[in-house]
A = this chain, B = another copy of it.
Amino acid sequence: MTTIRPYTKALDGLKAAGLRPTRQRLGLGRLLFEGGDRHVTAEQLHAQAAAAGLRVSLATVYNTLNQFSTAGLLREVVVESGRSYFDTNTSDHHHFFFEGSGDLQDIPGEQVKVSDIPEAPAGTQVARVDVIVRVRSGR
């Protein structure tokens, strides 16, 4: 069990994607990847960066999140029409969505089995299967 430094993954990813390791991207990468799995919106990350003393514009937060996503470092999760979440867990898994609070929570991929999906129409291929379990406050 080697502990991997938070920068490593982001740095490698940046390199692979041909993105320069700038102060902003490294700072955001650190915030994103040093603390386990997270689900953040652009606004949240922007606020967190400001709180951590990292000066980044909101536009750069959006750019960076999108670049990280296409580089495969993040995964975009769509659960509400007006908002995008970015998930630092890029492995195969699904989500609980708490309708009241708007929070997301991972469900490990092995724990959910989806079967008997019909074949994709000719000339197409399955890019991903998303399972969203929508949960609301009980009662």
Contact = CB atoms under 8 A, between A and B. Distances in A.
Contact of A113 (B99, B114, B127): B114
Interface in A82-139: 82-84, 96, 98-99, 107, 111-118, 120-139
Interface stretch (A12-20, A22-30, A50-58, A73-81): A73-81
A112 B114 contact: yes
Contacts of A84: 81
A135 B137 CA distance: 33
A96 to B, nearest CB: 7
Contact of A136 (B82, B122, B124, B135): B124
A107 B131 CA distance: 14
Given A78-B81, A79-B78, A132-B130, A139 B116 contact: no
Nearest to A108: B118
Contact of A132 (B83, B111, B129): B129
Contacts of A134: 126-130
Nearest to A128: B134
Contact of A81 (B81, B98, B115, B123): B81
Nearest to A132: B130
B126 A133 contact: yes
Contacts of A127: 99, 134-136
Contacts of A78: 78-81
